[in-house]
Amino acid sequence: MSETAYPSTWRRPPRLVKHRGWRWGLWFGVLLYLVLAAGSVEVDIARVLSGLERGQRFVSGFLQPDFVTRWSDIRQGLIESLTMTLTATVIGILISVPIGIGAARNLTPAPVYLLCRAIIAVSRALQEIIIAIFLVAMFGFGPFAGFLTLSFATIGFLAKLLADDIEEIDARQAEAIRATGASWWQFIDYAVRPQVMPRLIGLSLYRLDINFRESSVIGIVGAGGIGATLNTAIDRYDYDSAGAILLLIIAIVLVSEYASGMLRKYLQ
Amino acid sequence: MTDIGHYREVWRPASAARRLTRWFAWLALVALFVFCWQLMTENTIWAFVSDAPRQAADIGSRMVPPRWSYLPALMAPLWDTINIATLGTLGGIAMAIPVAFLAARNTTPSARFLRPAALFVIVASRSINSLIWALLLVAIIGPGLLAGIVAIALRSIGFIGKLLYEAIEEIDPKPGEAISATGARPAQVLDYAIVPQIVPAFIAIGVFRWDINIRESTILGLVGAGGIGLQLQSSINVLAWPQVTMILLLILGTVVVSEWVSATLRRAMI
Amino acid sequence: MLKIEGLSKAYRTGDVALSSVSFRVPRGQIVGLIGPSGAGKSTLIRCINRLVVPSEGSVMLGEIDLTRLGQRALRRQRRRIGMIFQEYALVERLTVMENVLSGRLGYVPFWRSWLRRFPPEDVRRAYALLDRVGLLQHADKRADALSGGQRQRVGIARALAQEPDLLLVDEPTASLDPKTSRQIMRLLTEICAERRLPAIVNIHDVPLARQFVQRVIGLRDGEIVFDGAPAQLEETTLSTIYGADDWQAMRREHDEQDDAEPSQRLSGAEA
């Protein structure tokens, strides 16, 4: 068998951009962007170096957290965070169910559909933190503004996923129920609810997790909760307490993630 | 008609015990809600709450019309914001890849020590919002873009790491077996059997996170970590509501564009 | 060429997959390994190149005992053993050429394989092999664009790219239709004859084995219960290997299949 007749080199065919010039141009463009972007970052070496010592203190604070000194503040922050997480999730679910049903194209007339979709779009487009800024300005500092923020954010999240879910229900089952002469309410109860309920429960538990995580942030702009405590601790360079708070947040997220996983498995 | 007189007249979809537990679960939930509500509103000043609609109307009327002349001054912060998101995502990807390989059951070199450590890194990064990371980093390395980039990168590790290691655990083991059977080194098995299988998932995850990071980097300025959030913060501080409206509109536009870009990228690359 | 002595494998759960299996394979011989599923065929093949680590016994390839090698030496020896898999085990998102060249991974340094810059003689050999299995014009296609039979040909080319001294073939036809199965088996036997390659072929399809292999080893519950020429396989032996009911069922199924496509039947293959 003579092997000399076969080519002795092989190049993998390009996967994305077939034209050689465009390929090089693309690489050049990416490189140029990276250089420009990196150039726009002004690094004050002296400041960073002086910060390294503080960084070290933060790491040691994380490793040897101090739960005791500010315990009453931490406790208050945690209670606010947990209570506003739960109440906001419950209220959020209660409001997002009708809005979700209203935003499902296969159930509602066009005007209602458009209105509900608009509410969802507004809620999703705005960051929690920006909503919190406005609500704090309107309702004053404290967990009540945080509660409203989280409820509002929950609506955008749950109502959208619920509406998408309803739009994807099995049409044959729905048709069968409709064929029995069921009214609109009976139709929701017998055709829609059984199909979307498991996922609604799963999503609600997931949103509970997210709300807790968010509740640790919105305190930074004055909406109460553990975020406010954390903000104060960091402002005072009290890294031992900050480390303790962060560890508590991580632990609660872990526990709630585990618990919601178990609960979801049990409920389904 | 058939005679149905001798059948039971009451039917319930669940047994009595089940109904009872369900009823108690709902009761407990309601009680918990009321309890939490009481606790949360302990210090609420209701006068402020009842005053809120008037406040809302007041702010609302001050917010329109947006101050369009402010737009040119926002271009530089917008460029910074995009850079924070992009460089932060790249940094996050660079750190998340090794973490994901250490965390995946089928590629970790040590399931007893390195895997739990990698999983902890992922959980820690995921539980802490990028704004909190930024808060810390501003305190440590000073305000500016760098703090924002590092914050975004640190938050992205957990997100990308988690999705990536799940993708790695789901790969088909047969090609790996076949490649090792040729006498290839472990690094070559990685290159030829594992990497090609996760590339599509990897691109999708990276682009998805970039999209999220654009949103997040718009607010990092609130704590001093650079970007358009700085302007938002200072405008709010001086109660320049028309400027705030302008910034929010720009953020909204950026988010819409980034969503479109990421959708296009995903479609082109997979 | 290959000498297996007292090979046993017990899993940690206590299941015994192989107990004291011994046989030799001389150069150029194709051995068909038959037996019901769970008899240990797949374990036996994987114990030879240590994809499964045997509990006891020795596997001598030439002068080297594969069971006693360290990782580095084992990789060196694995280059000498080509393996072909049931569901092809190709890397689907790589090109056909990359899949074939992956047979050379044990021979090239990492940077070459990383940059896909294989030595000229490797590339030339890969092209020659693709030509041999009839896929020359598919070199730049992605592996998932090929049909089942074509993919198995790529698998064969990958194994041959290793320039092996032994072929291990694990159910090569299990995911193929009867006609393609025969084509693949014919290709395998021709290639082994050309290169005087010994091969061990796991095969659940007894009639197909009879048609193509020179020697049959029957496995039941991890033990060898038959070792001889295909012609010596009698109904009673097959009944002991598979159990009487299962063997009858298998035979009936095969007859029906052949009735359905009589033109595909090869003449004189039973001899």
Mean pLDDT (whole number) for B108-113: 86
The pLDDT of residue B3 is: 67
Sign of the C-alpha dihedral, residues A53, A58, A64, A66? positive
Which candidate, A110, A106, A112, places its Cα nearest to that of A178?
Answer: A106
Which of A59, A82, A112 is where one domain is finished? A59
C46 near A CB under 8 A: no
CA distance C87 to A188: 47
When CB atoms are compared, the residue of A1, A8, A13 closest to C123 is A8
**Encoding tokens for residue A224?**
């109460």
CA B118 vs CA A56, B4, B173: distances in Å: 21, 66, 22
φ, ψ for residue A222, nearest 5 deg:
100, 10
The pLDDT of residue A57 is: 82
Could you tell me if residue A81 is inside a domain? yes
Query: Do residues A189 and A255 both lie within one domain?
Result: yes
CA torsion angle B64 B246 A158 B163 (round to 10) = 180
CA distance C76 to C74: 5
**Encoding tokens for residue A83?**
């209570």
Cβ <8 Å between A254 and B123:
yes
pLDDT range class, residue C271, cuts 50, 70, 90: very low
**Residue C233: CB partners within 8 Å, gap ≥ 6?**
C206, C210, C216, C218, C226
Provide the 10 A C-beta neighbour count for residue C191.
19
Residue C126 pLDDT greater than 90, yes or no: yes
Q: Is A224 left (phi over 0), alpha (psi -120 to 50) or beta?
A: left
Mean pLDDT (whole number) for B8-23: 80
Residue A37 pLDDT greater than 80, yes or no: yes
Cβ <8 Å between B39 and A90:
no
Query: Do residues A230 and A148 both lie within one domain?
Result: yes
CA distance B59 to B239: 9
pLDDT tens per residue, range A129-148: 888 988 888 888 888 999 99
The pLDDT of residue B270 is: 66
Strand C199-202 versus strand C56-61 pairing type:
unpaired
Mean pLDDT (whole number) for B66-70: 86
C127 near A CB under 8 A: yes
CA C19 vs CA C11, C123, C200, C225, C253: distances in Å: 12, 42, 18, 12, 31
When CB atoms are compared, the residue of A3, A11, A12 closest to C124 is A3
For the ranges C158-162, C196-200, C234-238, the lowest mean pLDDT is seen at: C234-238
Query: Do residues A132 and A39 both lie within one domain?
Result: no
Cβ <8 Å between B192 and C94:
yes
Contact residues on chain C for A4, CB-CB shorter than 8 A: 124
A12 near C CB under 8 A: yes
pLDDT range class, residue A44, cuts 50, 70, 90: confident
When CB atoms are compared, the residue of C89, C93, C105 closest to B177 is C89
Residue C263 pLDDT greater than 50, yes or no: no
CB-CB contact of B93 with B156 (8 Å): yes
Chain B residue nearest residue A127, CA to CA: B215
When CB atoms are compared, the residue of A6, A8, A13 closest to C140 is A13
Please count the structural domains in chain A: 2
Q: How far is A15 from chain C (nearest CA, A)?
A: 10
Q: Bridge-partner residues for A89, per DSSP? A: none
Contact residues on chain B for C90, CB-CB shorter than 8 A: 175, 178
Mean pLDDT (whole number) for A73-91: 91
Provide the 10 A C-beta neighbour count for residue B121.
19
Mean pLDDT (whole number) for A193-199: 84
CA distance B229 to B8: 68
Could you tell me if residue A199 is inside a domain? yes
Mean pLDDT score of chain B: 88
CA distance A19 to B268: 15
Query: Do residues A106 and A219 both lie within one domain?
Result: yes
The pLDDT of residue A258 is: 85
The pLDDT of residue C267 is: 40
Q: What is the DSSP letter of A246?
A: H
Query: Do residues A30 and A125 both lie within one domain?
Result: no
Mutate which: B45, B131, B246, vs A, most A CBs within 10 A: B131
CA A95 vs CA A92, A151, A155: distances in Å: 5, 9, 7
Could you tell me if residue A13 is inside a domain? no
pLDDT range class, residue C265, cuts 50, 70, 90: very low
Residue A3 pLDDT greater than 70, yes or no: no
Q: CB-hemisphere CA count at 13 Å for B166?
A: 8
Provide the 10 A C-beta neighbour count for residue A114.
13
Sign of the C-alpha dihedral, residues C215, C218, C222, C225? negative
Mean pLDDT (whole number) for A35-45: 84
Contact residues on chain A for C115, CB-CB shorter than 8 A: none
Mean pLDDT (whole number) for A78-106: 91
Query: Do residues A32 and A116 both lie within one domain?
Result: no
Chain A residue nearest residue C95, CA to CA: A12
Which residues of chain A from 128 to 187 reach within 8 Å of chain C, CB to CB? Answer: none
Residue A36 pLDDT greater than 70, yes or no: yes
CA distance B156 to B207: 12
pLDDT tens per residue, range B157-204: 999 999 999 999 999 999 999 999 999 998 999 999 999 999 989 999
Contact residues on chain C for A11, CB-CB shorter than 8 A: 116
Could you tell me if residue A206 is inside a domain? yes
Q: What is the DSSP letter of B225?
A: S
Provide the 10 A C-beta neighbour count for residue B187.
12
Residue B101 pLDDT greater than 90, yes or no: yes
The percent of residues above 90 in pLDDT, for chain B, comes to 41
Cβ <8 Å between B192 and C105:
yes
Residue B129 pLDDT greater than 90, yes or no: no
The percent of residues above 70 in pLDDT, for chain B, comes to 98
Residue C258 pLDDT greater than 60, yes or no: no
Could you tell me if residue A184 is inside a domain? yes
Query: Do residues A43 and A106 both lie within one domain?
Result: no
Residue A211 pLDDT greater than 70, yes or no: yes
pLDDT range class, residue C256, cuts 50, 70, 90: low
A129 near B CB under 8 A: yes
Mean pLDDT (whole number) for B146-156: 94
Q: How far is B198 from chain C (nearest CA, A)?
A: 10
Mean pLDDT (whole number) for C151-165: 93
Could you tell me if residue A235 is inside a domain? yes
Could you tell me if residue A234 is inside a domain? yes
Cβ <8 Å between A4 and C121:
no
Q: Is A222 left (phi over 0), alpha (psi -120 to 50) or beta?
A: left
Q: What is residue A1's three-state secondary structure?
A: coil
pLDDT range class, residue A158, cuts 50, 70, 90: very high
Q: Is B224 left (phi over 0), alpha (psi -120 to 50) or beta?
A: left
Q: Bridge-partner residues for C166, per DSSP? A: C81
Query: Do residues A30 and A154 both lie within one domain?
Result: no
Strand C16-25 versus strand C199-202 pairing type:
unpaired
**Encoding tokens for residue C195?**
């290169």
Place of tokens 């913060």: B233
Pairs of residues, one from chain B and one from chain C, whose beta carbons lie less than 8 Å apart: 77
Q: How many residues does chain B have?
A: 270
Place of tokens 């872990």: A254
- The alpha carbon of C117 is separated from its chain's Cα centroid by a whole number of angstroms, namely 29
The pLDDT of residue B65 is: 86
Query: Do residues A186 and A95 both lie within one domain?
Result: yes
CA distance B20 to B15: 9
10 Å CB burial of residue B64 (0-12, 13-18, 19+) is: exposed
B75 near A CB under 8 A: no
Q: What is residue A34's three-state secondary structure?
A: helix
B252 near A CB under 8 A: yes
Which candidate, C135, C131, C102, places its Cα nearest to that of C118?
Answer: C102
CB-CB contact of A142 with A77 (8 Å): no
DSSP assignment string, B196-224: HHHHHHHHHHHHHHHHHHHHHHTTGGGGT
Chain A residue nearest residue B223, CA to CA: A220
Q: Bridge-partner residues for C60, per DSSP? A: C3, C65
Mean pLDDT (whole number) for A117-126: 85
In chain B, which ranges are E strands? none
The percent of residues above 70 in pLDDT, for chain C, comes to 93
Mean pLDDT (whole number) for A101-128: 86
Mean pLDDT (whole number) for A67-81: 87
Mutate which: C91, C98, C101, C171, vs B, most B CBs within 10 A: C91
3-state helix/strand/coil string of chain C:
CEEEEEEEEECCCCCEEEEEEEEEECCCCEEEEECCCCCCHHHHHHHHCCCCCCCEEEEEECCEEHHHCCHHHHHHHHCCEEEECCCCCCCCCCEHHHHHHHHHCCCCCHHHHHHCCCCHHHHHHHHHHHHHCCCHHHCCCEHHHCCHHHHHHHHHHHHHHCCCCEEEEECCCCCCCHHHHHHHHHHHHHHHHHHCCCEEEECCCHHHHHHHCCEEEEEECCEEEEEECHHHCCHHHHHHHHCHHHHHHHHHHHHHHHHHCHHHCCCCCCC
The pLDDT of residue C128 is: 93
For the ranges A98-102, B176-180, B266-270, the lowest mean pLDDT is seen at: B266-270
> Residue A223 is part of a domain; what is its CATH number?
1.10.3720.10
**Residue C37: CB partners within 8 Å, gap ≥ 6?**
C204
pLDDT tens per residue, range C45-100: 999 989 888 988 999 998 889 888 888 899 999 999 999 998 889 998 899 999 99
Query: Do residues A53 and A147 both lie within one domain?
Result: no
When CB atoms are compared, the residue of A43, A137, A142 closest to B59 is A137
The pLDDT of residue A268 is: 64
**Residue C172: CB partners within 8 Å, gap ≥ 6?**
C84, C85, C86, C152, C155, C184, C185, C188, C201, C203
User: Domain span at residue A43?
Assistant: 20-59
CB-CB contact of A231 with A217 (8 Å): no
When CB atoms are compared, the residue of B40, B80, B255 closest to A125 is B255
Cβ <8 Å between B179 and C87:
no
C139 near A CB under 8 A: yes
Could you tell me if residue A1 is inside a domain? no
Mean pLDDT score of chain A: 86
Contact residues on chain A for C125, CB-CB shorter than 8 A: 3
B139 near A CB under 8 A: yes
Mutate which: A12, A15, A18, A40, vs B, most B CBs within 10 A: A40
When CB atoms are compared, the residue of B33, B132, B218 closest to A90 is B33
**Encoding tokens for residue B228?**
């358009």
Query: Do residues A42 and A94 both lie within one domain?
Result: no
Residue A186 pLDDT greater than 90, yes or no: no
Q: Bridge-partner residues for C7, per DSSP? A: C21
Q: How far is B55 from chain A (nearest CA, A)?
A: 5
CA distance A188 to B168: 41
The pLDDT of residue B194 is: 92
Which of A35, A59, A83 is where one domain is finished? A59
Query: Do residues A92 and A36 both lie within one domain?
Result: no
The pLDDT of residue C257 is: 62
φ, ψ for residue C134, nearest 5 deg:
80, 30
